[in-house]
């Protein structure tokens, strides 16, 4: 019986939820994806990753939420410049094997040119490459680090924060969890909000809706989080105007 046949009970359907690791699944065969509905939660660019046909009409059995919001990359760089006006050269920590991460780094390059900020990509495919990335950052005299979030960087966020403090490099990240781990600043969607919204998709699919007909949503709620303990460890003073605009300040 096809999982989408009219006589297939909705509650018998296998609905999977996935986080950023789904962005590594672009190589999955279409036959597998037709067999198991997936609700994604934190995928940066599901179209570029080959998971869906378009945000408006996903087309397959994958739907849900994306963190794709191109304007965020310029906003993060603007916030970085506001927090640290003297920064002229920054590293971008990115996993080149993740299509969504590469798309994010590309968007950041465009924004950086407008802000007259020089960026250098530091590629990290797995945790053991972090030490080399930070060594390159130091050798290149880069003044800050922008972290593009994916499964690799997210899972190693504590190590990234520790290395950044050790090298005395301020970090700009995408979500709150990095700042909780010890990074300096984050601006982006709330993972908690996205996870709660995913329940809507699961409910719709279990009631008979087809993922192909459920448009993928982009984030609407963003949060600015600052870690003042990290700022102190780095010998930095964050402008009061930025602190007052923060949704959360960690002391």
End-to-end CA distance of the chain: 56
Give 13 or 145, the one with higher predicted confidence: 145
Q: Where in the chain is the domain with CATH 3.40.50.2300?
A: 10-68+191-221, 71-189+223-250
Which among 103, 97, 184 is positioned nearest to 145, based on CA atoms?
Answer: 184
CB of 126 within 8 A of CB of 152?
yes
What pLDDT score was predicted for residue 34?
53
Helix axes 130-139, 157-166, angle to 10 degrees: 30
Decide which of 3.40.50.2300, 3.90.170.10, 3.40.50.300, 3.40.640.10 is the CATH code for 10-68+191-221: 3.40.50.2300
Helix ranges (H only) for 21-173 are 30-35, 71-83, 99-115, 130-139, 151-155, 157-166
Contact 51, 25 (CB under 8 A): yes
- Average confidence (pLDDT) over 179-199: 93
Please compute the mean of the pLDDT values over residues 36-60 and round it to a whole number: 89
How high is the pLDDT of residue 35? 63
pTM across the whole model: 0.81
Instruction: Report the topology of domain 71-189+223-250.
Output: Rossmann fold (3.40.50)
The pLDDT, as a whole number, for residue 23 is 39
């Amino acid at each position: 019986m096809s999982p989408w046949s009219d006589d297939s009970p909705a509650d018998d359907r296998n609905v999977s939820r996935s986080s950023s690791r789904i962005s590594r699944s672009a190589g999955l065969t279409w036959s597998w994806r037709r067999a198991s509905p997936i609700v994604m939660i934190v995928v940066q660019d599901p179209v570029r990753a080959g998971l869906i046909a378009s945000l408006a009409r996903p087309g397959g059995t994958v739907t849900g939420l994306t963190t794709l919001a191109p304007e965020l990359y310029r906003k993060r760089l603007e916030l970085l410049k506001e927090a640290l006006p003297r920064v002229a050269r920054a590293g971008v920590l990115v996993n080149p094997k993740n299509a969504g991460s590469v798309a994010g780094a590309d968007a950041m390059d465009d924004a950086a040119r407008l802000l007259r900020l020089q960026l250098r990509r530091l590629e990290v495919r797995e945790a053991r490459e972090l030490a080399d990335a930070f060594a390159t950052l130091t050798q290149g005299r880069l003044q800050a680090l922008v972290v593009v979030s994916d499964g690799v960087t997210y899972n190693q966020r504590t190590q990234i924060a520790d290395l950044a403090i050790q090298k005395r490099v301020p970090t700009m990240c995408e979500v709150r969890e990095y700042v909780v781990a010890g990074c300096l600043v984050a601006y982006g969607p709330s993972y908690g909000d996205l996870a709660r919204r995913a329940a809507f998709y699961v409910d719709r699919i279990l009631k008979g809706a087809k993922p192909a007909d459920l448009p993928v949503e982009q984030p609407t709620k963003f949060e600015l989080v600052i870690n003042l303990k990290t700022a102190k460890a780095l010998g930095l003073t964050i402008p009061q105007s930025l602190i007052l605009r923060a949704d959360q300040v960690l002391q």
